[in-house]
Amino acid sequence: MRILLADDHHMFRSGLRRILEDDFPDAIIAEAASCDETLAQVARQRMDLLILDIAMGKENSLHILPAIRDACPDLPVLLLSMYDDKQFIVQALRAGVSGYLTKEHAPEELIRAIRTILGGRRYVSASVAAHLADYLAVGSSEFPHQTLSAREHEVFLRIAAGQSVSDIAKELCLSVKTISTYRTRILEKMDVGSNAELMRYAMQHGLVT
């Protein structure tokens, strides 16, 4: 069995490797530290499982999932995240990931998730399932921010946290023009006219503190 660990933090990858080696001693484990490295590894050799961090440096790995699907349509992907935001969870599941787990969970749950996914089923933790239940209870189109794409949602949260367009562009390694375009789309989709309204909306819905 071949497993690819894709995370930009070396110490986190090392910890995951030790956990996997204990439970899957015969597995061949490869590593990637960026989205580009992940795509190169997937294209170079067949993998049986990809464990993918949602935030790879300044990149959101949700954006490479279509390319991964094109290269390896049947590759199971377990997404690890610091976020339990409903929007990220829904975007990930819509993109075809096999499992979604926040990094706070114990190693035992990680192994349980892997075995479930390798058995051909999807896996989400109890906390993630609760978020999904809330999301489905109110309806997927109840709130304007739920219509945003993954990148738009990321930019929206940064704007709502008070970051400028130029700061967001620098952190995401994108042009100011690109971020401005995202901002325009966000304002249109959410039917608001200013950053101040975005901030107010985000605070009212508990999306920022």
Average pLDDT, the chain: 87
Name the pLDDT band for 183 (thresholds 50, 70, 90). Answer: very high
CATH 3.40.50.2300 residue window(s) in the chain:
2-137
Instruction: Give all strands (DSSP E) within 82-164, no chain letters.
Output: 99-102, 123-124
The CA distance from 36 to 188, in Å, is 32
| pLDDT, tens digit (0-9, with 9 covering 90-100), for 31-78 | 999 999 999 999 998 999 999 998 887 777 888 888 898 889 899 999
Q: Report the predicted TM-score, pTM, of the whole model to 2 decimal places.
A: 0.67
Contact present, 78 and 101 (Cβ < 8 Å): yes
Q: Give the model's pLDDT for residue 106.
A: 83
Q: Give the model's pLDDT for residue 194.
A: 92
CATH of 144-204, one of 2.60.40.10, 1.10.10.10, 1.25.40.10, 1.10.150.130: 1.10.10.10
| pLDDT, tens digit (0-9, with 9 covering 90-100), for 101-134 | 888 878 899 999 999 999 999 998 777 776 666 6
CATH 1.10.10.10 residue window(s) in the chain:
144-204
Least confident of 55-64, 140-149, 175-184: 140-149
Burial class (CB in 10 A: 0-12, 13-18, 19+), 77: buried
Average pLDDT over residues 79-102: 80
Q: Which long-range contacts (C-beta less than 8 Å, at least 24 apart) are formed by 111-118? A: 111/19, 111/23, 113/78, 114/20, 114/23, 114/24, 114/49, 114/51, 114/78, 117/49, 117/76, 117/78, 118/1, 118/48, 118/49, 118/76
Q: Give the model's pLDDT for residue 64.
A: 87
**CATH-assigned architecture of domain 2-137:** 3-Layer(aba) Sandwich (3.40)
- Residue 199, pLDDT > 60, answer yes
